[in-house]
Chain A
Amino acid sequence: MADAAARPRNPDRRRALLSALLLLPVCALLLVFFLAPLIQLVNLSTFAQQPSAQNLKPPHSLANYLNILSDPFYLQITANALLVGFWTTIATLVISYPVAYYITKISGWERTLISVACLLPLFVNVIVSILGWYILLLPYGVIQQILSSLGLVTGSLQWLRTMPALVGVLTYEHIPFAVLILVSSLQAIPQDKINAARLLGAGIPRIFFTLILPLTMPGLVASAILVFSLSASSYLVPILIGAQRIKVLPLSIFSYGTELQNWPLAAALSIVLLILVVAITYLFARTMNRITRRGEWEMV
């Protein structure tokens, strides 16, 4: 009786309880299988050697980090990973922006065709597209045959295992992410603003640089951040296309984590990668924010 009387008096509390109950499965899952493993990874990175059955808890030390920071090899692979990420981001944005703009201007089956092509890497397994590029780029492969028949090259082309091939295939993989973000940000530009600019006599370059570009800047920044963090931490393309010739940091995480079984070192490398990527993207977002805010004021 008392219970029934109390219930309607606390609808807010009941609602909160229900909400918490509905959120519980996902929150618990992420707590136990996302946050906890990452915390353990930080802990693992301070072990001086691989934990084993005899030695479950090796002593803590910063040996792994000192090792990474003092070894020119690790500094080189870190720089390589960031460089690969940088060039991939530039190439992806330069290609995706015009494509996304074109997609917003068309409709019907043409739109579906171009969308299928540009979002293909999202729907097709990454191994499939890497295999395709591998066949295309192989010495005496498809691209070489086309170029030789046009009389453009002679001898064998050594494109596989080079930096441009690596950046090219990574760009291919990441174009969908940029196109998705850029299409929605270009679509959000109100058409009457463009019409107003046109009525006031602005030419196409002026409309682009003072209106479209500043308005889509948040989308550009978001796609740059996403593409950079994904490509700087990629290891599949460096293994299969770069054939481990271009050493990047994620390759070392992969080999220490799997074949070489040195988890503490792999963990320390992961954390170095994570901190660098987060720091770079954060600084980039802050700088861009400051610049574009000024742009917004000018625009009003």
Chain B
Amino acid sequence: MLGLRIFVYIVVVLMLLPVLITFPVALTSVARISFPPVGLSGRWFMAIFSDTVLLDSIIRSFWLATAAAIVAITIALPCAFVIHRSTSRARELLETWITGPRMIPQIVFALALLAYFETIGLAETFIGLVISHLVITIPFAFRTLLVSVSTMDKRLEWSSDVLGATPAQTFWRVMVPQLKTGLIAAFIFTFILSFNNVTLALFLSGFGQRTLPVEMFQRMNVGGMTPAIPALSFVLALVGVVLFIVLDRTVGVYRFLAGRD
């Protein structure tokens, strides 16, 4: 057991290292990426706020992820209800169909949409981007919501029905409160998936319409990299970790995310 423990903690260090290393690198006072940092300054953290291109891409990514998460949950929730209450054969078929987009490599799907949007006139539009993110996040939103729906107590609905509540009242006052944590988990998860996605925006977003991950990719790949990128990376990682801990301590990550198998 001790050997296992040592192994696990080595893995833990290796998993954290690449994310933690961005912090000291960002503290440098010169414009090149180096370790150990040359001098100490917070100027590259401030530089994020004066870089309008970067700020625009953050805002664009934020709205994209928010829109995708809200719509994905809104249309996936009814599916979770229907599928939870349907017979096993129909259930299997529908589940395969709805979670199908996970099976296709994203680069293949991105290429397919690139050509498709060109023919139907959605190329390089924001709405096209939202649609593409919907397709890839729905499987995950659906699985998370299905877990949540299947733990609901059906007797509460019957009681509410018997006591004379309308279907709408039953939905808002009896079912939604039970689903609240599941909805929050699904929202956080879908938001993160969409916010972090590189491939779809890389293929589909127009010139000057880059999302944050694409902007970072281009600066790393083509040029224009300053320590502001590690600085921003560290901030993003911190937000991700906080969201994760909230998710884990409130609803339990394994319960909701293991729906991936």
**A90 at interface by CB-CB < 8 Å:** no
- CB of A257 within 8 A of chain B? yes
Cβ < 8 Å to B, chain A residues 226-261: 226, 229-230, 233, 235-236, 239-240, 250, 253-254, 257-258
CA distance A145 to B236 in the complex (A): 27
CB distance from A129 to the nearest CB of B (A): 5
- We find that the number of chain A residues with CB closer than 8 angstroms to chain B is 82
| Separation of A257 and B229 alpha carbons in the complex (Å) | 27
Q: In the complex, what residues of A have CB within 8 A of residue B163's CB?
A: none
Determine if A127 and B198 form an interchain contact, defined as CB atoms under 8 angstroms apart.
Answer: yes
Q: Is the interface of A mostly helix, strand, loop or mixed?
A: helix
> Which residues in chain B, 86-128, are within 8 Å of chain A measured between CB atoms?
86, 94, 97-98, 100-101, 103-116, 119
Which residues on B sit within 8 Å (CB–CB) of A115? 248, 253-254
B260 x A177 contact (CB < 8 A): yes
> Does residue B162 face the partner (Cβ distance < 8 Å to A)?
no
B62 within 8 A of A: no
How close is A117's CB to chain B, nearest CB, in angstroms?
4
Give the complex CA separation of A99 and B13 in angstroms: 13
CB-contact partner of A183 in B14, B132, B258, under 8 A:
B258
Instruction: Give the chain B neighbours of A122 by CB distance below 8 A.
Output: 192, 257
Q: How many residues of B contact A (CB 8 A)?
A: 82
8 Å CB contact of B11 from A99, A126, A257, A277: A99
**Complex CA distance for A139 and B78, rounded to whole angstroms:** 53
| B97, A30: Cβ atoms closer than 8 Å | yes
Q: Which of chain A's residues has its CB closest to B131's CB?
A: A33
B25 within 8 A of A: yes
Our pick among B114, B131, B244 for the contact of A29 (Cβ within 8 Å) is B131
B33 within 8 A of A: yes
Q: How far is the CA of A5 from the CA of B178 in the complex (A)?
A: 35
Q: Closest approach, in angstroms, between the C-beta of A171 and any C-beta of chain B?
A: 10
Contacts known (A23-B78, A127-B220); A235 close to B131, Cβ less than 8 A: no
Q: Which are the 6 A-B pairs with shortest beta-carbon distances?
A: A132-B18, A233-B105, A22-B78, A184-B258, A37-B116, A123-B240
Q: 7 more A-B contacts (CB under 8 A) besides A125-B196, A142-B21?
A: A38-B112, A116-B244, A120-B19, A132-B19, A222-B261, A233-B105, A253-B108
